[in-house]
Structure 1
Amino acid sequence: MTTSNGSSGLFISFEGIDGSGKSTQARMLAQALEQDGRDVVLTREPGGSPGAEEIRALVLQGDPDRWSAETELLLFTAARRDHLERTIRPALAAGKVVICDRFADSTRMYQGLSRGDLRAKVDALHELMIGQEPDVTLLFDMDPAAGLARAKSRATVEERFEDFGVGLQEKMRAGFLALSQEFAARFEVINAARGIEDIAADVLARIKARLP
């Protein structure tokens, strides 16, 4: 059986506002699938390959106004192309399950919607340079204020987008929910306001239903 990416692997993306718990859940799903005998690659965006990790430092650190939305779009796309070439496509071709913490939907939101009216440019550049969507996208949905408080409590150096405040997170949540309707066939909306174990069980059940 082949999936929509043309291979026997499965490409899963995790999306949501900052602090929604998706990174924790991505790790838990990877562990659960590995215990079930699956060959799993856990990766992230921006990042996931040496070149893309260098770009990650550029876009996630520094002052909020360090880059324009247009410049961010180009940087994120460059990182994604390197990630796709060096990590994602080889893993899928080998029949592995790829779990990616954020992918193109985050760019559609952060640069395409919430940081400017650039959605058409995001989609055009994605079609030209990336040309691939996940087989399934798990959207972790929760209250923006609660998510931002959780994200800020981590106290990392990668807080550039959190520093835009709760207004951005509110736009993001609405935008992500709209995306889940636009791409309904691949989206699964997860209630992220529950306990970690309950969410993990829900995630695993939904992914097992889609595994080739």
Structure 2
Amino acid sequence: QNSQMFLDFSVRKIKHLHLYGTIYADEFKKDRVGNDTLHNFFSFKAGFKLSNWPLKDVSITTEYTRTNPMTYKHTVAGLTYASNKFNLGHYLIDNSQEIYLALQYKPIPRLYIKAEYFYAMHGDEYNYNFDSGYDPTAIPLLKNKTWDNKTIGLYITYEILNDVYIKTYFTHTETYGYDLNGHTAEEYLNTFTAPFYHGNLNTFGVSFNMGF
């Protein structure tokens, strides 16, 4: 048997401020609460968006995501939180974190300019079992780094007509894997990143869409 618990929240009680987040509990034991060496299997995202204060037509978004080791996994392979071997939780699976920052400005009606920064990393990779010489509940969070990604982006969107948009963007990404625990940097890169996006990459694009 395997069960999970979810909790989402969204708070708009303070003018100009939106607080939001989600918590996923995969495995919980009260004996681990307050224990410095043992942990429960949680994943959470928390963030806020501050709009039109202190500057009008300017918004700031900040988000943080963290997933403890062994979250989404199970000692029985058929009971992992996955479908056809694809994880149904966070794309970085367990033992990972992600930071997102964005600044958006609307200088004139229908024109939106957004700058964003993104950093994600994945730690040591372990199997969930009790036969490999380690305690799955005592693995340190992000002790080592096996993969990380830094992205800086600039997006300019203009609403030509109602719900008709044209967008141009530029992104700079730095995506790397690291040799660790008997696995090569290339293996970790291929796990989380398509080959085309390995290393340093500058991307420029233009898009057109209707309805959203």
TM-score (norm 2): 0.26
**Bigger RCO (CA 8 Å, 6+ sep):** 1
Q: Which has the higher helix share?
A: 1
Structure whose alpha-carbon radius of gyration is higher: 2
Q: Which has the higher strand share?
A: 2
TM-score (norm 1): 0.26
